[in-house]
């Protein structure tokens, strides 16, 4: 079976999937993830920092080489919020072409939302049935909300808040103070206002690192195990309890919490607050958790088919 690969260059992480395309869909051969924080400081400076570019290019180069070594016949590389918003985003694209031999596609918020929903619909449309299916993709720099039925998208929007951006804008104390939470609430009330409410019967599915990390922490999954995370259910109360637990700890202690990658510890509280507010805004009692986000949607969009 032919093998294909997708690399998702996000604000916070770089993710790789290499998969075989079978008659039933895509079956994973290898998956990798690394926190490179490409978008660090972009919200304030509107520029990618040289050291962030270097970290990210090193990871993209290694992942591209691994994908080729594993027999991938084609490779899709995408970048999202940080590269989209930075004034020197084109420099990053040129450096990726020169250093790693890859062409990076900067996705619009609309295309990012479409591909995230495609990944969610592949796995969860059957469970949703005739109910609305809502995908929430919490990234580092932006968050996508996509509402549809089956594989059809009916509404999508990309809001300019994510775990990294919210942390940089709102959190100034360690551990976060009541004033920090007040700033988060004000920022999220503004950002979520345009998102419609699909009804309490909707099936909500959350994708990306904030969701999978919160679930791993809630369930005590250490080391991380995608098979145990994917498809899990996290209630609104679960999210609140885990957020309260993490927010009470200084960063040094938060880095030692089982299930929480130390390099995600500084932004996880803002990500959890975002998820809480999103669920409240949607009127949802909880969310399914998907370990298969944008990179899987890119596989389907670029190379055809869905997942096994």
Specify the pTM.
0.87
Q: How far apart, in Å, are the Cα atoms of 63 and each of 127, 214, 253?
A: 33, 26, 31
Residues 6+ away with beta carbon under 8 Å from 86: 39, 42, 46, 47, 48, 92
What's the CATH architecture for 110-294?
Answer: 2-Layer Sandwich (3.30)
Q: What is the pLDDT of residue 229?
A: 95
Assigned token pair, 185: 């609430």
Nearest to 10 by CA among 173, 140, 155, 97: 140
- Are the C-beta atoms of residues 17 and 31 closer than 8 Å to each other? yes
**Sign of the CA dihedral 45, 48, 49, 55?**
positive
Residue 306 above 70 pLDDT?
no
Residue 84 above 90 pLDDT?
no
- Are the C-beta atoms of residues 229 and 291 closer than 8 Å to each other? yes
pLDDT digit string, tens, across residues 23-76 = 888 999 999 999 998 988 888 888 999 999 999 999 999 999 999 999 999 999
Domain definitions of the chain by residue range: 3-106, 110-294
What SS3 state is found at 260? coil
pLDDT interval class at 307 (50, 70, 90): very low
Asked whether this chain's domains 3-106 and 110-294 adopt the same fold, the reply is yes
Query: What's domain 3-106's superfamily in CATH?
Result: ATPase, nucleotide binding domain (3.30.420.40)
């Amino acid at each position: 079976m032919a093998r294909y690969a997708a690399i998702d260059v996000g604000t916070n992480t770089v993710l790789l999937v290499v998969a075989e395309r079978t008659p039933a869909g895509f079956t994973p051969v290898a998956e990798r993830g690394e926190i490179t924080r490409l978008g660090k400081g972009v919200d304030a400076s509107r520029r990618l920092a040289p050291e962030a570019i270097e970290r990210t290019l090193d990871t993209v180069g290694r992942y591209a080489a691994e994908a080729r070594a594993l027999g991938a016949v084609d490779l899709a590389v995408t970048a999202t919020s940080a590269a989209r918003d930075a004034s020197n985003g084109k420099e990053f694209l040129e450096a990726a072409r020169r250093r790693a031999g890859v062409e990076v596609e900067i996705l619009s918020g609309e295309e990012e939302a479409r591909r995230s929903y495609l990944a969610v619909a592949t796995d969860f449309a059957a469970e949703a049935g005739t109910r609305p299916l809502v995908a929430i993709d919490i990234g580092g720099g932006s968050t996508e909300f996509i509402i549809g039925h089956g594989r059809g998208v009916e509404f999508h929007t990309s809001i300019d808040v994510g775990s990294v951006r919210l942390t940089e804008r709102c959190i100034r104390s360690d551990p976060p103070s009541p004033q920090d939470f007040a700033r988060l609430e004000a920022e999220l009330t503004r950002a979520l206002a345009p998102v419609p409410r699909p009804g309490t019967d909707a099936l909500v599915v959350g994708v990306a690192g904030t969701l999978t990390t919160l679930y791993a922490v809630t369930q005590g999954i250490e080391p991380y195990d995608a098979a145990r995370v994917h498809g899990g259910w996290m209630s609104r109360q679960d999210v609140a309890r885990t957020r309260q637990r993490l927010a009470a700890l200084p960063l040094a202690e938060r880095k030692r919490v089982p299930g929480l990658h130390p390099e995600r510890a500084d932004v996880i509280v803002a990500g959890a607050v975002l998820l809480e507010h999103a669920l409240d805004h949607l009127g949802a009692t909880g969310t399914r958790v998907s370990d298969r986000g944008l990179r899987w949607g890119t596989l389907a969009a670029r190379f055809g088919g869905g997942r096994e």
